Structure 1
Amino acid sequence: MIAAFLGLRLYSVLGRRAEHEEEVIQGPRPAETPRTSGGESVERGAQPARLPVAGVTPAIERGLREIAAADPRFNIAAFLEGAKGAYRMILEAFWKGDKEALAELCDRDVYEGFVGAIASREAAGETMDNRLVRIEEAAIVSAAFEAPMARIAIRFSADIAAVTRNASGQVVAGSLDDAVEARDLWTFSRNITSTSPDWLLDETDEA
């Protein structure tokens, strides 16, 4: 089940959450404050990346600085907060089998694997009745910039109440009463030369 939790279009979630993040940290913004491609507002003279990031290794911090240097609009605090919301959005989209929505959330290879998992489930006449209880952790485990691609890997640890039902609606696996721990490692990438602000999921693994 964990391996099938694929996909991410960070912009739709990160942009909105980034605006909130900036309001909390910086307070009211002037009317002419510029906006980043991800939707977050950045005051002139501010440091959008908000580095260093507590708890990361020197290698990760170096990668984040390289990304921020290549794209001054990059905001790591907003990225992390938005990633949590995006994680929930992706899982719920997968559970519902929303292929149209997920087509915009990941690159081609990941999307094909995602669609394959949904197709297998549909062929078996099964549906997923899952619920994300909480996200325990969302931590950066690597960051790198190899022009023009920026890549960031995040380890997610979450509690999920998972239930699989057959065509008759009977529970064939799992329980909504007992949450299980899911540990995923998702790598997101973005071409910083692109006019699109989207970060796409291009690799998944179990953490």
Structure 2
Amino acid sequence: MTVSIVILAMIAGFLCMRLYSVLGRRAEHGEEPVQNRVEPVAAPAVLPLAEQPAKGSAQPLAQPPMLPVVERGLREIIAADRRFDPLAFVEGARGAYRVILEAFWRGDKEELAQLCDGDVLESFSAAIDARVAAGQTYDNRLVRIEEAALVGASYDAPFASIAVRFISDVAAVTRDADGTVIAGSLTDAVEVRDVWTFRRNLQSTSPDWLLEATDEG
């Protein structure tokens, strides 16, 4: 029994010496510890007027699986801008979706000019002008956003483009100049599917992504 205890003690001492020779050497010679391969990335301000989840609110819906081409595009964007955070971007895109729709419905061209670019801004402005000329107004409500999923991503220096598919419920009403409902209903929401593409110059000091294209999803 005593011999067994001595043998076990010798083995334990040998293991301790081996551990010290491997781990202790790093501390003695001032070697730096190995860093994690993936560095944490701070979430920047992604889109103007981005929605931030309130304390205690439900968490955003999980992202569906992404196509390899989308993942490759996101990696290229992250390589060009280490501050870019895809999850923060999706939250910002959800907020921008609501803000842009509501600005369009009420005919606010100035706000749209801060959020949209090029042909999209021209299309929205033309639609607003046509609505005003017809004496019509929109009384629409974005009931909920069911899904906001990344479906496209690319980087063509210095511009990054990301496409987001939105599935939402919208209650839409069109009124004439007298306020009479001529189309739609506020009690019956319809499902709307959109694919919006946002674009940003990564060399710009502005963190804002502008809406550059819209399509049906």
For normalisation by structure 2, the TM-score amounts to 0.72
Unaligned runs of 5+ in 2: 1-44, 56-62
Q: Deviations over 1:59-107 (max 9, x none)?
A: 1111101100100111111111121121111111111111111111111
> Measured at CA, do residues 182 and 192 of structure 1 come closer, stay the same or move farther in structure 2, by a change above 3 Å?
same
Residue of structure 2 in register with 1:13 after alignment: 49
* Superposition pairs of residues 88-103 of structure 1, within 5 angstroms: 88-103=98-113
Tell me, in whole angstroms, the C-alpha distance in 2 between the residues paired with 1:176 and 1:99: 24
Shift of 1:58: 1.6
* Superposition pairs of residues 48-127 of structure 1, within 5 angstroms: 55-127=65-137
Residue of structure 2 in register with 1:44 after alignment: none
Unaligned runs of 5+ in 1: 1-8, 22-52
Tell me, in whole angstroms, the C-alpha distance in 1 between the residues paired with 2:98 and 2:159: 25
Q: Deviations over 1:3-62 (max 9, x none)?
A: xxxxxx953223x739x89xxxxxxxxxxxxxxxxxxxxxxxxxxxxxxx7611221111
Contact 1:10 1:200 in 2 (8 A): no
* Superposition pairs of residues 28-47 of structure 1, within 5 angstroms: none
> Measured at CA, do residues 72 and 87 of structure 1 come closer, stay the same or move farther in structure 2, by a change above 3 Å?
same
3-state secondary structure, aligned to 2:179: coil
* Runs of 4+ displaced beyond 3 Å: none
Q: Deviations over 1:139-186 (max 9, x none)?
A: 111101111110000111110000000000000000001111111110
Higher RCO structure (Cα 8 Å, ≥6 apart): 1
Tell me, in whole angstroms, the C-alpha distance in 1 between the residues paired with 2:89 and 2:66: 15
Counting matched residue pairs gives 167
Tell me, in whole angstroms, the C-alpha distance in 1 between the residues paired with 2:204 and 2:92: 20
3-state secondary structure, aligned to 1:176: coil
Q: Over aligned residues, Cα RMSD in angstroms? A: 2.1
Tell me, in whole angstroms, the C-alpha distance in 1 between the residues paired with 2:115 and 2:49: 11
> Measured at CA, do residues 174 and 197 of structure 1 come closer, stay the same or move farther in structure 2, by a change above 3 Å?
same
3-state secondary structure, aligned to 2:66: coil
